[in-house]
C-alpha cells in the first residue's frame, strides 16, 4: 500500500486539527480521499483539516480510508515532548504551567482515573484523581517500582463519590500546581525520619495508597502487624488492600524486609 494520507496533529488549547500531506497519491486518488473526508464531516482549509465533532465519525473515516485501499500515517513521534496545547486551559493557568521552572509534563490523560506524569526539580512525579480524591506523588519512577518520598492528597467535591475521576484539564492542572506550591513552599519536615510525626506520615501514606505495606515496614523497621496496631491506635483508616498486603508481607523472609532501605 504505497498511497498514504499523512496527518500531523496541530493542537491549540485542547482542540486538534491536522496538517495533511498526500504521499505518493495521484490527483484522482487525492480527490477521492477529499470526498471521503467531506462525507465524514471534516472541515477542509487547503492542507489543514478540522475533524468532525460528532463522536465516532473520525474512526469511521479511518476505516473507510483503509477499506478504500489508502494508507494512513500519523506524524506524531512517540518520543516528542508532550504538547501543552493538548490541554484546554484558561489563559492564567496556561501561563502558570508554561512558565513553571524545573518542570516537565510527560502526559495527562484518562478518565477514572485522570493521570499525569512528569518531572519536577529533577524527580519523577505522578498525579492521580479518582473517586473523591486526588493525589500528587514525588520521587518514585515511571515503572512505579520505586515509592515516592513526598506526596499530597486531598478530597475532591463529590456527590456520587466519583467526580474526581472526571476532572477537566483545567481542574487537574490546578491541583498539580497547588501540590507543587505546597512541596516547594510548605513545611515538609514531617517526611524526614528525624521528625516526631514521621511514623504517622508514613502510615498515612499507606492509608492513602501512596505506599505499600512492604515499604512501610522497611522505612519504619516494624512488622506488618505492628503497623496495623499503630494505625488503629491513631485511628488512621486501613486501606482496602490491608488483609492481602499483610498476608504477602508476612510471607516474606525477614531479611527481605530490611534489605533495600531507601526504596
**pLDDT tens digits along 198-213:** 999 999 999 999 999 9
Residue among 204, 179, 60 at smallest CA distance from 129: 179
Residues 162-186 have a mean pLDDT of 97
Q: Where are the domains of the chain?
A: 4-74, 84-186, 190-257
C-alpha cell at 18: 491536522
C-alpha cell at 253: 523472609
Query: May I ask the CATH architecture of the domain 4-74?
Result: 2-Layer Sandwich (3.30)
Distance (Å, whole) CA 175 – CA 210: 17
Share of the chain above pLDDT 70, in %: 95
DSSP character string of 43-77: EEETTEEEPPSSTTHHHHHHHHHHHTT-EEEE---
pLDDT tens digits for range 39-71: 999 999 999 999 998 877 888 888 999 888 888
pTM of the model: 0.86
Amino acid at each position: 500500500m504505497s498511497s498514504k494520507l499523512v496527518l500531523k496533529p496541530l493542537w491549540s488549547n485542547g482542540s486538534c486539527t491536522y496538517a495533511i500531506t498526500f504521499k505518493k497519491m495521484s490527483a484522482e486518488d487525492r480527490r477521492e480521499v477529499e470526498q471521503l473526508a467531506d462525507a465524514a464531516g471534516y472541515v477542509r482549509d487547503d492542507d489543514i483539516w478540522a475533524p468532525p465533532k460528532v463522536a465516532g465519525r473520525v474512526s469511521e473515516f479511518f476505516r473507510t480510508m483503509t477499506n478504500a485501499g489508502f494508507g494512513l500515517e500519523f506524524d506524531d513521534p512517540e518520543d516528542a515532548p508532550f504538547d501543552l496545547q493538548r490541554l484546554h486551559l484558561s489563559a492564567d493557568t496556561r501561563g502558570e504551567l508554561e512558565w513553571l521552572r524545573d518542570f516537565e509534563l510527560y502526559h495527562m490523560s484518562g478518565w477514572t482515573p485522570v493521570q499525569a506524569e512528569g518531572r519536577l526539580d529533577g524527580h519523577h512525579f505522578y498525579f492521580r484523581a479518582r473517586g473523591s480524591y486526588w493525589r500528587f506523588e514525588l520521587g518514585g519512577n515511571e515503572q512505579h517500582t520505586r515509592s515516592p518520598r513526598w506526596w499530597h492528597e486531598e478530597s475532591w467535591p463529590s456527590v456520587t463519590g466519583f467526580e474526581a475521576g472526571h476532572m477537566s484539564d483545567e481542574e487537574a492542572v490546578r491541583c498539580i500546581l497547588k501540590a507543587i506550591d505546597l512541596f516547594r513552599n510548605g513545611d515538609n519536615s514531617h517526611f524526614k525520619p528525624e521528625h516526631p510525626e514521621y511514623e504517622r506520615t508514613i502510615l498515612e501514606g499507606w492509608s492513602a495508597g501512596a505506599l505499600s505495606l512492604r515499604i512501610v515496614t522497611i522505612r519504619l523497621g516494624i512488622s506488618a502487624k505492628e503497623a496495623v496496631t499503630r494505625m488503629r491506635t491513631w485511628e488512621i483508616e486501613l486501606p482496602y488492600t490491608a488483609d492481602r498486603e499483610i498476608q504477602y508481607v508476612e510471607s516474606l523472609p525477614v531479611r527481605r524486609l530490611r534489605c533495600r532501605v531507601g526504596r
